Amino acid sequence: MINLIWAMDENRLIGDKSRLPWHYPTDLKHFNSLTRGKTVLMGHETYMSLKGYYKTKPLPYEKIYVANLEKYDYPDAELVSDAIKFLKEFKDELWVIGGKIIYELSLPYADNLYITYILNKHEGNIYFKPFSLEDFRLTEKRVEPSLIFTKYERK
């Protein structure tokens, strides 16, 4: 089962120079409650960004896969050089946690989308491309100040 999880503002902004362009503790708590201790897939830039946040602490995931076309030795993660092949063949639960390119590659294989809608505009330079929810149905929705937490399941 492939799960994608991300937050975006009303312009589909998801990042600013490999960092989050906002700080919503409720969103971070939501993200961590779903991904902590799980198997995750991310791109190289997301991995480096998370390492910047965690500094000397280990990342809070059971197993980490990092998609990167270049050879790179990750001390706590496994390199994935062909993300499409990996996604097609992966059979267990997987959480895709960023960034933009990995989300775009993963979207056709996703079983569930966990999208946090940020109800404010923010500044940044990384946007999620337009996409359709036509193949998904909304199964969960929770509204909080400035945020809407949703879950979409593939039909």
pLDDT in tens, 122-139: 999 999 999 999 999 999
Any residues with CB less than 8 A from the CB of 3 and at least 6 apart, and which?
A: 34, 93, 94, 95, 96, 110, 111, 112, 113, 114
Q: pTM to 2 decimals? A: 0.96
Is the pLDDT score of 55 beyond 90?
no
CA gap 106, 90 in Å, rounded: 12
Mean pLDDT of 29-35: 97
pLDDT digit string (tens) for 74-123? 999 999 999 999 999 999 999 999 999 999 999 999 999 999 999 999 99
User: Which of the following CATH numbers is that of domain 2-154: 2.10.60.10, 3.40.50.970, 3.40.430.10, 3.40.47.10?
Assistant: 3.40.430.10
CB atoms within 10 A of CB 112: 19
Q: How far apart are CA 92 and CA 2, in angstroms?
A: 8
Domain ranges of the chain: 2-154
pLDDT per residue over 56-80, tens digit each?
899 999 999 999 999 999 999 999 9
Q: Average pLDDT of 22-48?
A: 97
